[in-house]
Amino acid sequence: MCRPGSKGAILWGTTSPRGNLQEREREKTQDYVSASKLGIVQLPEDDSYCVEKLLQVARESTPEELPNLIGQLESIKAIAWARLITPTPAAQQHDELLDVATAAERLGISRDYLYRHSKEYAFTRHQGRKVLFSAQGIDRYIRQHKS
């Protein structure tokens, strides 16, 4: 990540599987040069420095360096999107099982109706003869059926 005054490091260390040895060494050098310009080492508290540094590198890079820079930026973008859309395990909360009275109150229906139609709801749970209802399931149901 970015840090003011850092020496930089090779971003991905990738080289083309094709091409001769000189070409691969040149690509490694370009990776190192781009990473050095970016100062990519560790993200500070204020990441506006990183954005400013990226803008500076984009403005000052030679046309030959730009494809490599764009590729690295696209990789960063893909990683960020993947992290954004991937659910985190910490976000899952412990599910509480509710009795008929509490579940009916949350749903705004009578206890009798809920008990008679419990098989129609996906959030119904059974413990022996006892009928319970998932709190998370009820919340999800309410969100989906909000008008």
Q: What is the pLDDT of residues 47-91, one digit of tens each?
A: 778 888 888 989 999 999 999 999 999 998 999 888 888 876 655
> Quick one: how far is CA 130 from the chain centroid?
39
Q: Are 14 and 31 in contact (CB under 8 A)?
A: yes
Rounded percentage of the chain residues whose pLDDT exceeds 90: 44
Domain ranges for the chain, please list them.
Answer: 21-86, 97-144
Alpha-carbon distance of 78 to 68, in angstroms, equals 15
Report pLDDT for 92: 60
Report field, pTM of the whole predicted structure over 0.85:
no
Please provide residue 44's backbone torsions phi and psi, each rounded to the nearest 5 degrees. Answer: -80, 175
